[in-house]
Structure 1
Amino acid sequence: MATDVTANLGTQTTVTAQAATKLTAKQKKQITAINASLSKKQKAAKNWIAYHESRYSYTARNGNCYGRYQLLKAYLHGNYSAVNQEKTANQYVAGRYGTWTKAKKFWQSHHWY
Structure 2
Amino acid sequence: MKNLKVKFAALLLIFSCAFGLVTNVAADLVPSTTVTAQAASLTASQKKQIKAINAGLSKKQKAAKNWIAYRESSYSYTARNGNCYGRYQLLRSYLHGNYSAVNQEKMANKYVAGRYGNWTGAKRFWQSHHWY
2:109 aligned to 76, 81, 90, which one?
90
Aligned residue identity for 2:33: V
Q: Distance in 1 between the 2:34 and 2:52 partners?
A: 16
Aligned residue identity for 1:106: F
2:36 aligned to 18, 22, 40, which one?
18
Query: Structure 1 length as normaliser, TM-score?
Result: 0.86
**Residues matched between the structures, number:** 101
- Whose radius of gyration is greater, 1 or 2? 2
- What is the CA RMSD across the aligned residues, in angstroms? 1.2
Gaps of 5+ in 1: 1-12
Bigger helix fraction: 2
Q: 4+ residue stretches of structure 1 with deviation over 4 A?
A: none
Q: Distance in 1 between the 2:119 and 2:32 partners?
A: 14
Provide the residue aligned with 1:9 in structure 2: none
Bigger strand fraction: 1
Provide the residue aligned with 1:111 in structure 2: 130
Kindly, what percent of the aligned residue pairs are identical?
80
Aligned residue identity for 1:59: T
Provide the residue aligned with 2:71 in structure 1: 52
Query: Structure 2 length as normaliser, TM-score?
Result: 0.73
